[in-house]
């Protein structure tokens, strides 16, 4: 798909294209409309893009599309300088506290090279003179720390358009981690239909169900203690959710994560060591062989904390096998009488 086709899907008044005013066209292939209306969201749901398992070439192309989307949104429009103090985050947060190193790199890049791409904001729906971010939260935070004004494109966006823009821009960059997307989906569920959520995150219905299942079964305290865990995907989070299905395991997890040595680890490592800590440990099995003084094998005995098994080879010691069977009940009665 050409980049021109991507921008044909923008459904905002006055959105520019290479030829002139934008035309609303049905989404093609695997691309959902950025800033799409509910009608376009319905059409796009026929071929949603899963957020998991994309090839490296797709990841690269998605990143290029995101940059092109932001550039074209600003092309031919008025880019204004705003005071960061006048801008609020989206009404539905999508990010957890990320790595300090990545934030520091962004701050250094903007300090040295300036802000290359404007953020997208809308007039705040409830507070005159203020604005609300659709995408560009990290740039906003970095520029606020630098004490600079921020370049922004201002658009009139509905709540639906804002969250679809927010989710899709992050998804194009594969910027949010799995657990961040799952939490974002949970927050969206309180206000929007599943069609809007699937469009915002570009996921199938089954993927969305898994995300909502994960965040409903893992407490906020555990998720916050772990952090965004960038390389941890769906299977691992579902495995953790299964392990935390009872209260005792949840208490163990919280106590474990509060330890200073665990908090000192990176987010991914915290997840990995917690999962290993909660997994049932294989029971140690000891095995002995009973033999006669002449070396004839009588039985093999295996035992662990849970059970004892005695296996008698009838071919080697048939009389002994019959003897044990005959005496087993009386041995138990003798044991009970002594205790």
290 lies in some domain: no
167 lies in some domain: yes
Q: Could you tell me if 158 and 76 lie in one domain?
A: yes
Q: Tell me the C-alpha distance between 98 and 215, whole Å.
A: 19
Q: Which of 18, 132, 5 is nearest to 72 (CA)?
A: 18
112-167 residue pLDDT tens: 888 888 888 888 888 888 999 888 888 888 999 999 999 998 888 888 888 877 77
316-328 residue pLDDT tens: 777 888 888 888 8
Q: Could you tell me if 271 and 329 lie in one domain?
A: no
176-223 residue pLDDT tens: 789 988 998 998 888 888 888 888 787 889 999 999 999 999 999 999
244-267 residue pLDDT tens: 987 788 889 999 999 999 999 989
51 lies in some domain: yes
Q: Could you tell me if 90 and 186 lie in one domain?
A: yes
Q: Could you tell me if 56 and 169 lie in one domain?
A: yes
Q: Tell me the C-alpha distance between 245 and 241, whole Å.
A: 7
Q: Could you tell me if 188 and 317 lie in one domain?
A: no
295 lies in some domain: no
Span of 49-58, 199-208, 302-311 with lowest mean pLDDT:
49-58
Q: Could you tell me if 326 and 244 lie in one domain?
A: no
Q: What's the structural domain count of the chain?
A: 3
Q: Could you tell me if 207 and 243 lie in one domain?
A: no
Q: Could you tell me if 55 and 175 lie in one domain?
A: yes
Span of 12-16, 36-40, 103-107, 233-237 with lowest mean pLDDT:
36-40
259 lies in some domain: yes
* Domain span at 327: 302-339
* DSSP annotation string for 185-203: HHHHHTTS-HHHHHHHHT-
Q: Which of 160, 161, 135, 140 is nearest to 67 (CA)?
A: 135
291 lies in some domain: no
**Contact by Cβ (8 Å): 190, 212:** no
Q: Could you tell me if 166 and 82 lie in one domain?
A: yes
Q: Tell me the C-alpha distance between 20 and 284, whole Å.
A: 73
- Which residue's entry shows tokens 């390389």? 231
End-to-end Cα spacing for the chain? 81
Longest alpha-carbon distance in the chain: 99
HEC letters along 250-310 = HHHHHHHHHCHHHHCCCHHHHHHHHHHHHCCCCCCCEEEEEECCCCCEEEEEEECCCCEEE
Q: Could you tell me if 118 and 31 lie in one domain?
A: yes
Q: Could you tell me if 195 and 235 lie in one domain?
A: no
Q: Tell me the C-alpha distance between 151 and 131, whole Å.
A: 13
């Amino acid at each position: 798909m050409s980049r021109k086709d991507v921008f044909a899907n923008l459904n905002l008044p006055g959105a520019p294209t290479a030829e002139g005013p934008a035309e609303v066209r049905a989404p093609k292939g695997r691309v959902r409309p950025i800033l799409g209306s509910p009608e376009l969201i319905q059409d796009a749901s026929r071929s949603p893009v899963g957020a998991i398992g994309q090839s490296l070439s797709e990841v690269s192309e998605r990143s290029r599309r995101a940059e092109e989307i932001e550039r074209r949104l600003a092309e031919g429009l008025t880019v204004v300088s705003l005071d960061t103090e006048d801008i609020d985050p989206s009404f539905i947060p999508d990010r957890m506290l990320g790595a300090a190193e990545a934030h520091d790199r962004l701050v250094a890049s903007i300090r040295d090279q300036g802000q290359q791409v404007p953020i997208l904001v809308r007039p705040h729906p409830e507070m005159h003179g203020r604005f609300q971010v659709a995408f560009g939260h990290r740039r906003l935070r970095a520029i606020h720390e630098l004490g600079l004004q921020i370049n922004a494109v201002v658009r009139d966006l509905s709540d639906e358009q804002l969250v679809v823009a927010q989710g899709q821009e992050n998804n194009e960059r594969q910027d949010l981690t799995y657990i961040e997307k799952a939490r974002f989906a949970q927050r969206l569920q309180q206000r929007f239909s599943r069609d809007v959520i699937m469009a915002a995150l570009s996921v199938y219905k089954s993927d969305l169900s898994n995300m909502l299942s994960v965040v409903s079964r893992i407490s906020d305290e555990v998720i916050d203690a772990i952090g965004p865990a960038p390389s941890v995907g769906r299977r691992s989070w579902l495995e953790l959710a299964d392990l935390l299905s009872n209260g005792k395991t949840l208490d163990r997890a919280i106590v474990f994560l509060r330890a200073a040595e665990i908090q000192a680890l990176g987010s991914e490592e915290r997840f990995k060591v917690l999962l290993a800590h909660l997994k049932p440990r294989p029971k140690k099995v000891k095995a002995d062989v009973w033999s006669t003084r002449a070396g004839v094998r009588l039985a093999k005995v295996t035992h662990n904390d849970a059970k004892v098994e005695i296996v008698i080879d009838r071919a080697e010691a048939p009389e002994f096998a019959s003897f044990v069977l005959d005496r087993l009940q009386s041995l138990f009665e003798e044991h009970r009488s002594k205790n």
